[in-house]
Amino acid sequence: MVNDIAELKARVDLAALVEGDLGPPRRQRGRWHWWLCPFHAETRPSFGVTPDDGRFKCFGCGASGDHLDYLERRQRLSTAQAIAELRRWAALPETTHQQGTRTAATTAGDAPPPAAWQERARVFLAYAREQLWADAGRPGREYLTGGGLTVETMRRFGLGWNPRDLWDDPNRWGLTGDKVYLPRGVVIPCEVSSSLWYVKVRRFERAGHPRIQAGEKYGGPRGGKGALFGADRLQVACPERRRRDGRPLLLCEGERDALLAIQELSNLVDVATLGGAGRRCLGHWLLWLLPYRRILTAYDADNAGRQGAYHLASLSGRVQGIQAPHGKDLTGFHAEGGDLRAWLSGHLEPLGVAPTTDWQAQAAAILAESPVEPEQVADWARRYAECIAGAGVPGSIPWETWAASLEVQEV
């Protein structure tokens, strides 16, 4: 049992914790990872994290501290609640005295964003979907079709286009503090069990080209939660799917690759993504991976991709890293004329996965190799069952009314 605070902080990568809250860093230079500060308004990232010593500092507003300082200020937690939240990030069971006084804050990371955030996000998505198929959405359509996605896939997954940078009132999202920034670009929602977990935007320049500077490629409304994109199509969510024999899981680095793989390879493998190679803390999403006897990671051919694949492989012998023969990622390989099905089939054949219908036994076997405490997994399973039986999606207002309330800032 880990009770020492220093040891607890050593178990959690502060950069991964911040990334789970704010999304991928805007840039990384040396030992510093940089984000837009969540504690004051800014347009250039001045919030730096040094994972090696577990500290953060904003060079704009002066905020600084460690894991607990970040959680206390960001989620408005007491010290005891922040410790409990950090234990959850470390995949540790609650201590005895915490179990008797459980609060909503200790489970915040395992639950989707609140109803107000969901409602406002759905209005933004309705607006973005309209824009994708209007004249203004041509750059987004060309970007998506250029990567091999069909119109059917774009509509099926509710992709959209935000034609300009927007700022929204945080109160409408159930948030406080700075205005909610909605960047220009391709809009990709992540919905699991009828709840929106995050909305990611592949950012574009005003000239209509995708941003290419590291750390500035992606954005989206703050307040979203990290999630497993594609989870609704995995075996845990689909009881009828559990009878399929020996079907592996393909984890892609990003949503665009995952969408392409679902479109082209869904009769060979199940597909999901953690939304980036830097996502290290699986949290309760580990539960969704347990039925799979083989997990393939098709991450980008760069340092972040290799490190992410290595980290997942270290969790279980059932994880195998694979890469496309050429191109930076699966989308690049496909765009250069590569045959995704032939490439993947070459990796599936030597796996030698024996047919089985006992997915519970597979889960038990993977759990035996996992560093996660059994009590924690049992708790996740209970929460998952509650989520499946939960309430429906809240209603929303017309997107025209929503759009009229926004500020437009051309940057």
User: Higher pLDDT residue, 309 or 141?
Assistant: 141
- Look at the block and give the residue holding tokens 């869904």: 266
Pair of tokens at residue 329: 């990622």
For residues 251 and 271, what is the distance between their CA atoms, to the nearest angstrom?
6
- Give the pTM: 0.63
Confidence of residue 21 (pLDDT cuts 50, 70, 90): confident
- Return mean pLDDT, the chain: 76
Element (DSSP H or E) covering residue 69: helix 67-75
Per-range mean pLDDT, top range of 119-123, 265-269, 272-276, 401-405: 119-123
Pair of tokens at residue 275: 């939304």
pLDDT the model gives residue 82: 80
Confidence of residue 106 (pLDDT cuts 50, 70, 90): very low
Segment 304-336, tens digit of pLDDT? 555 555 556 555 567 788 888 888 889 999 999
Residues 209-225 have a mean pLDDT of 86
User: Higher pLDDT residue, 202 or 207?
Assistant: 202
Nearest 5°: CA angle at 402, between 19 and 122?
50
Segment 67-101, tens digit of pLDDT? 888 888 887 777 777 887 888 777 665 544 333 33
CA neighbor of 180 nearest in space, from 165, 195, 192, 194: 165
For residues 22 and 385, what is the distance between their CA atoms, to the nearest angstrom?
27
Pair of tokens at residue 387: 């989520």
With a cut of 50, say whether residue 103 has pLDDT above it: no
Reduced to 3 states (helix: H, G, I; strand: E, B; else coil), residue 203 is: strand
Distances (CA, A) of 10 to 4, 13, 89: 10, 7, 11
User: Higher pLDDT residue, 82 or 160?
Assistant: 160
User: Higher pLDDT residue, 300 or 155?
Assistant: 155
pLDDT the model gives residue 393: 27
Tell me the CA end-to-end span of the chain in Å, nearest whole number: 50
Confidence of residue 302 (pLDDT cuts 50, 70, 90): low
Residues 259-274 have a mean pLDDT of 92
- Sort strands 249-252 and 270-273 into parallel, antiparallel or unpaired: parallel
| Strand ranges (E), 286-378 | 295-298, 319-321
For residues 338 and 261, what is the distance between their CA atoms, to the nearest angstrom?
13
Half-sphere exposure of 52 (CA within 13 A, CB side): 3
Evaluate whether 19 touches 27 at the Cβ level (below 8 Å).
no
Chain Cα centroid distance, residue 375:
24
pLDDT the model gives residue 328: 84
With a cut of 50, say whether residue 398 has pLDDT above it: no
Confidence of residue 141 (pLDDT cuts 50, 70, 90): very high
Residues 326-349 have a mean pLDDT of 89
Segment 382-392, tens digit of pLDDT? 444 443 343 22
Residues 372-391 have a mean pLDDT of 46
User: Higher pLDDT residue, 218 or 84?
Assistant: 218
Per-range mean pLDDT, top range of 12-26, 126-140, 203-217: 126-140
With a cut of 50, say whether residue 210 has pLDDT above it: yes
With a cut of 80, say whether residue 349 has pLDDT above it: no
pLDDT the model gives residue 276: 62
Reduced to 3 states (helix: H, G, I; strand: E, B; else coil), residue 269 is: coil
Residues 14-42 have a mean pLDDT of 88
Residues 285-314 have a mean pLDDT of 68
Confidence of residue 263 (pLDDT cuts 50, 70, 90): very high
For residues 75 and 341, what is the distance between their CA atoms, to the nearest angstrom?
44
Confidence of residue 205 (pLDDT cuts 50, 70, 90): very high
Burial 337-373 (b: 16+ CB within 10 A, else e): eeebeebbeebbeeeeeeeeeebeebbeebeeebebe
